[in-house]
Amino acid sequence: MSFGGSSTVASGAKRPFEYGRTHVVRPKGAHKATIVWLHGLGDNGASWSQLLETLPLPNIKWICPTAPTRPVTVFGGFPSTAWFDVADLSEDAPDDIEGLDASAAHVANLLSTEPADIKLGVGGFSMGAATALYSATCYAHGKYGNGNPYPVNLNVSVGLSGWLPCARSLKNKIESSQEAAQKASSIPLLLCHGKADDVVAYTHGEKSADALKSTGFSNVVFKSYNRLGHYTVPEEMDEVCKWLTANLAFSTSSS
Protein backbone atom coordinates (compact mmCIF):
# COMPACT_ATOMS: atom_id res chain seq x y z
CA MET A 1 0.00 0.00 0.00
CA SER A 2 1.30 3.44 -0.78
CA PHE A 3 0.10 6.99 -0.84
CA GLY A 4 1.34 10.22 -2.36
CA GLY A 5 3.85 12.73 -1.13
CA SER A 6 3.31 15.62 1.23
CA SER A 7 5.07 18.80 2.12
CA THR A 8 6.47 19.09 5.63
CA VAL A 9 7.98 22.20 7.09
CA ALA A 10 9.91 21.34 10.25
CA SER A 11 9.00 23.83 12.76
CA GLY A 12 11.15 26.80 11.88
CA ALA A 13 12.48 25.51 8.56
CA LYS A 14 12.84 28.12 5.82
CA ARG A 15 11.59 26.04 2.89
CA PRO A 16 9.13 23.19 2.41
CA PHE A 17 10.46 19.79 1.33
CA GLU A 18 8.34 17.73 -1.04
CA TYR A 19 8.37 14.15 0.20
CA GLY A 20 7.82 11.32 -2.25
CA ARG A 21 5.59 8.25 -2.02
CA THR A 22 5.07 6.56 1.35
CA HIS A 23 4.71 2.76 1.42
CA VAL A 24 2.95 1.05 4.32
CA VAL A 25 3.36 -2.62 5.29
CA ARG A 26 0.39 -3.67 7.40
CA PRO A 27 0.92 -6.07 10.33
CA LYS A 28 -0.06 -9.68 9.58
CA GLY A 29 -1.08 -10.23 13.22
CA ALA A 30 -2.30 -7.98 16.04
CA HIS A 31 -0.94 -4.43 15.63
CA LYS A 32 1.36 -3.72 18.59
CA ALA A 33 4.05 -1.43 17.18
CA THR A 34 4.65 1.01 14.31
CA ILE A 35 8.11 1.73 12.97
CA VAL A 36 9.02 4.36 10.38
CA TRP A 37 11.90 3.00 8.27
CA LEU A 38 14.10 5.41 6.31
CA HIS A 39 16.00 4.50 3.15
CA GLY A 40 19.52 5.57 2.18
CA LEU A 41 20.74 8.31 -0.17
CA GLY A 42 19.27 7.99 -3.68
CA ASP A 43 16.86 5.20 -2.73
CA ASN A 44 13.10 5.20 -2.05
CA GLY A 45 10.60 3.74 0.40
CA ALA A 46 9.44 0.96 -1.95
CA SER A 47 12.66 -1.07 -1.89
CA TRP A 48 12.79 -1.32 1.90
CA SER A 49 9.04 -1.98 2.23
CA GLN A 50 9.50 -5.11 0.08
CA LEU A 51 12.25 -6.41 2.38
CA LEU A 52 10.47 -5.49 5.62
CA GLU A 53 7.32 -7.29 4.47
CA THR A 54 9.25 -10.59 4.48
CA LEU A 55 10.42 -10.32 8.12
CA PRO A 56 8.86 -12.59 10.78
CA LEU A 57 7.49 -9.62 12.76
CA PRO A 58 3.70 -9.95 12.42
CA ASN A 59 2.87 -7.34 15.07
CA ILE A 60 4.73 -4.44 13.43
CA LYS A 61 3.30 -1.93 10.99
CA TRP A 62 6.10 -0.46 8.84
CA ILE A 63 5.87 3.02 7.32
CA CYS A 64 8.45 3.60 4.57
CA PRO A 65 8.46 7.20 3.34
CA THR A 66 10.49 8.52 0.41
CA ALA A 67 12.85 11.44 0.98
CA PRO A 68 12.59 14.70 -0.96
CA THR A 69 14.60 15.06 -4.17
CA ARG A 70 17.08 17.84 -3.48
CA PRO A 71 20.55 19.02 -4.56
CA VAL A 72 23.17 17.00 -2.64
CA THR A 73 26.59 18.57 -2.06
CA VAL A 74 28.45 15.24 -2.01
CA PHE A 75 27.12 14.66 -5.56
CA GLY A 76 28.32 18.10 -6.69
CA GLY A 77 24.83 19.55 -6.29
CA PHE A 78 23.17 16.88 -8.43
CA PRO A 79 19.58 16.21 -7.22
CA SER A 80 18.91 12.97 -5.38
CA THR A 81 16.48 11.64 -2.78
CA ALA A 82 18.03 12.67 0.53
CA TRP A 83 16.77 13.23 4.08
CA PHE A 84 19.24 16.11 4.49
CA ASP A 85 22.23 17.55 2.67
CA VAL A 86 25.68 15.97 3.08
CA ALA A 87 28.98 17.52 2.07
CA ASP A 88 30.85 14.28 2.74
CA LEU A 89 30.43 11.18 4.88
CA SER A 90 33.32 11.77 7.26
CA GLU A 91 33.16 12.39 11.00
CA ASP A 92 34.11 16.05 10.51
CA ALA A 93 31.43 16.87 7.94
CA PRO A 94 29.11 19.77 8.85
CA ASP A 95 25.58 18.85 9.94
CA ASP A 96 22.56 20.12 7.97
CA ILE A 97 20.42 20.87 11.04
CA GLU A 98 17.59 22.35 8.96
CA GLY A 99 17.34 19.25 6.78
CA LEU A 100 17.67 16.90 9.76
CA ASP A 101 14.95 18.76 11.66
CA ALA A 102 12.62 18.67 8.64
CA SER A 103 13.04 14.91 8.20
CA ALA A 104 12.79 14.20 11.94
CA ALA A 105 9.55 16.25 11.93
CA HIS A 106 8.26 14.23 8.96
CA VAL A 107 8.91 11.00 10.90
CA ALA A 108 7.20 12.41 14.00
CA ASN A 109 4.19 13.47 11.90
CA LEU A 110 3.88 9.95 10.47
CA LEU A 111 3.94 8.46 13.99
CA SER A 112 1.69 11.06 15.62
CA THR A 113 -1.54 9.56 14.25
CA GLU A 114 -0.89 6.05 15.59
CA PRO A 115 -3.18 4.74 18.39
CA ALA A 116 -2.09 5.59 21.94
CA ASP A 117 -1.40 1.96 22.97
CA ILE A 118 0.95 1.29 20.02
CA LYS A 119 4.71 1.30 20.61
CA LEU A 120 6.62 3.61 18.27
CA GLY A 121 10.03 3.39 16.65
CA VAL A 122 12.22 4.75 13.88
CA GLY A 123 14.95 2.95 11.98
CA GLY A 124 16.87 3.24 8.77
CA PHE A 125 19.84 2.50 6.57
CA SER A 126 22.86 4.78 5.98
CA MET A 127 21.54 8.37 5.79
CA GLY A 128 18.19 6.97 6.95
CA ALA A 129 19.98 5.49 9.97
CA ALA A 130 21.53 8.90 10.68
CA THR A 131 18.04 10.47 10.60
CA ALA A 132 16.67 7.72 12.87
CA LEU A 133 19.44 8.22 15.44
CA TYR A 134 19.02 11.99 15.22
CA SER A 135 15.29 11.48 15.92
CA ALA A 136 16.19 9.42 19.00
CA THR A 137 18.40 12.23 20.31
CA CYS A 138 15.62 14.78 19.65
CA TYR A 139 13.23 12.55 21.60
CA ALA A 140 15.63 12.35 24.56
CA HIS A 141 16.39 16.08 24.49
CA GLY A 142 12.69 16.86 24.05
CA LYS A 143 13.49 19.29 21.23
CA TYR A 144 14.55 19.48 17.61
CA GLY A 145 17.86 21.12 16.79
CA ASN A 146 16.01 24.43 16.26
CA GLY A 147 14.61 24.30 19.81
CA ASN A 148 10.99 23.43 18.98
CA PRO A 149 9.43 20.62 21.05
CA TYR A 150 9.69 17.01 19.84
CA PRO A 151 6.12 15.66 19.95
CA VAL A 152 6.20 11.84 20.05
CA ASN A 153 7.27 9.17 22.51
CA LEU A 154 9.82 6.86 20.86
CA ASN A 155 10.29 3.34 22.22
CA VAL A 156 13.15 2.10 19.98
CA SER A 157 15.56 3.24 17.28
CA VAL A 158 17.63 1.18 14.81
CA GLY A 159 20.51 2.34 12.61
CA LEU A 160 22.16 0.14 9.95
CA SER A 161 25.40 1.29 8.28
CA GLY A 162 24.85 4.82 9.52
CA TRP A 163 26.21 7.47 11.86
CA LEU A 164 25.15 9.91 14.57
CA PRO A 165 24.68 13.52 13.38
CA CYS A 166 25.46 16.38 15.78
CA ALA A 167 27.48 14.07 18.04
CA ARG A 168 29.67 16.92 19.29
CA SER A 169 26.79 18.90 20.80
CA LEU A 170 24.89 15.92 22.22
CA LYS A 171 26.47 15.81 25.68
CA ASN A 172 25.35 19.36 26.56
CA LYS A 173 21.80 18.63 25.35
CA ILE A 174 21.38 15.45 27.39
CA GLU A 175 22.98 16.90 30.51
CA SER A 176 20.72 19.96 30.29
CA SER A 177 17.88 18.31 32.20
CA GLN A 178 17.12 15.32 34.38
CA GLU A 179 14.26 14.36 32.06
CA ALA A 180 16.59 14.26 29.03
CA ALA A 181 19.08 12.10 30.92
CA GLN A 182 16.30 9.74 32.00
CA LYS A 183 14.93 9.39 28.44
CA ALA A 184 18.45 8.85 27.05
CA SER A 185 19.12 6.07 29.55
CA SER A 186 15.85 4.30 28.81
CA ILE A 187 15.45 4.23 25.01
CA PRO A 188 16.94 1.06 23.43
CA LEU A 189 19.15 1.72 20.39
CA LEU A 190 20.56 -0.86 17.95
CA LEU A 191 23.44 0.09 15.65
CA CYS A 192 24.82 -2.39 13.09
CA HIS A 193 27.81 -1.81 10.81
CA GLY A 194 29.90 -3.79 8.34
CA LYS A 195 33.67 -3.73 8.76
CA ALA A 196 34.05 -3.67 4.95
CA ASP A 197 31.78 -0.61 4.51
CA ASP A 198 33.42 1.61 1.86
CA VAL A 199 30.76 4.36 1.99
CA VAL A 200 30.23 5.11 5.69
CA ALA A 201 33.43 4.00 7.42
CA TYR A 202 33.07 1.33 10.08
CA THR A 203 34.97 3.53 12.55
CA HIS A 204 32.38 6.30 11.98
CA GLY A 205 29.61 3.91 13.03
CA GLU A 206 31.61 2.57 15.97
CA LYS A 207 32.43 6.07 17.23
CA SER A 208 28.75 7.02 16.89
CA ALA A 209 27.80 4.15 19.23
CA ASP A 210 30.55 5.23 21.65
CA ALA A 211 29.33 8.85 21.53
CA LEU A 212 25.80 7.74 22.41
CA LYS A 213 27.02 5.60 25.31
CA SER A 214 29.26 8.36 26.67
CA THR A 215 26.40 10.89 26.67
CA GLY A 216 24.07 8.73 28.76
CA PHE A 217 22.38 6.46 26.20
CA SER A 218 23.07 3.38 28.29
CA ASN A 219 20.88 0.94 26.35
CA VAL A 220 22.97 0.85 23.14
CA VAL A 221 23.83 -2.38 21.30
CA PHE A 222 26.51 -2.16 18.58
CA LYS A 223 26.85 -5.16 16.23
CA SER A 224 29.65 -5.51 13.71
CA TYR A 225 29.87 -7.79 10.69
CA ASN A 226 33.31 -8.76 9.38
CA ARG A 227 32.86 -8.92 5.61
CA LEU A 228 29.77 -6.73 5.26
CA GLY A 229 29.97 -3.71 2.93
CA HIS A 230 27.44 -0.88 2.56
CA TYR A 231 24.35 -3.07 2.29
CA THR A 232 22.35 -5.46 4.47
CA VAL A 233 22.43 -9.27 4.74
CA PRO A 234 20.00 -11.84 6.21
CA GLU A 235 22.22 -12.33 9.28
CA GLU A 236 21.91 -8.64 10.10
CA MET A 237 18.14 -8.55 9.54
CA ASP A 238 17.78 -11.64 11.78
CA GLU A 239 19.55 -9.66 14.50
CA VAL A 240 17.18 -6.72 13.96
CA CYS A 241 14.17 -9.05 14.27
CA LYS A 242 15.43 -10.63 17.50
CA TRP A 243 16.34 -7.26 19.00
CA LEU A 244 13.00 -5.65 18.11
CA THR A 245 11.04 -8.62 19.47
CA ALA A 246 12.96 -8.41 22.77
CA ASN A 247 12.86 -4.62 23.13
CA LEU A 248 9.25 -4.13 22.06
CA ALA A 249 8.36 -6.94 24.49
CA PHE A 250 6.01 -9.03 22.39
CA SER A 251 6.28 -12.68 21.50
CA THR A 252 7.23 -13.96 18.04
CA SER A 253 3.76 -15.47 17.52
CA SER A 254 1.17 -13.62 15.43
CA SER A 255 -1.21 -13.20 18.35
Name the residues annotated as catalytic: 126, 197, 230
163 and 200 in contact (C-beta within 8 Å)? yes
Please name which of 181, 180, 171, 169 lies closest in space to residue 145, comparing C-alpha atoms. 169
CA 109/CA 140 separation, integer angstroms: 17
Q: Which residues pair with 69 in a beta bridge?
A: 81
CA 194/CA 226 separation, integer angstroms: 6
Burial tier of 1 (Cβ tally within 10 Å: 0-12, 13-18, 19+): exposed
The string of DSSP letters for 4-51 reads ---EE--TT-SS-EE---EEEE--SS---EEEEEE--TT--HHHHHHH
